[in-house]
Amino acid sequence: MQEQTAYSLIGGEASVARLCDRFYELMDAVPQFAAIRTLHPADLQSSRDKLFMFLSGWLGGPDLYVQNIGHPMLRRRHLPFAIGEDERDQWVACMFLAMESIGIEEALREKLLASFFTTADFMRNQPA
């Protein structure tokens, strides 16, 4: 029996798109996320599209980022931005709220949150 991916468990392409939309809506609107918002361009569409493509593959769906852009090289792509614990924590909190608001089941949300934290922590390039 084949194991289901997080991509399929959250509802596939449509849910990943909703997650990315909601993530950037929250980042743009919630004052608590101001520090990470300033790291992004005024128009968030390109950032949203890249996150969608990345998450598609990262969650076990089509590897759209690799197909369209190449290897993610996440740490290298984030080096130009000052990312410390505050930025990491804001990103993770924003993603948690986005997952919660689109209705990702709690047990899956908690597993994804742990993985998101590990990945976001790897992006840190500022001292603790």
Domains of the chain, each with CATH number or no CATH:
8-122 (1.10.490.10)
Can you list the residues of the chain whose pLDDT is less than 50?
Answer: none
Per-residue pLDDT, 128: 72
Per-residue pLDDT, 1: 54
pTM of the model as a whole: 0.93
Residues 81, 64: Cα–Cα separation, whole Å: 24
Distances (CA, A) of 121 to 73, 116, 126: 15, 8, 11
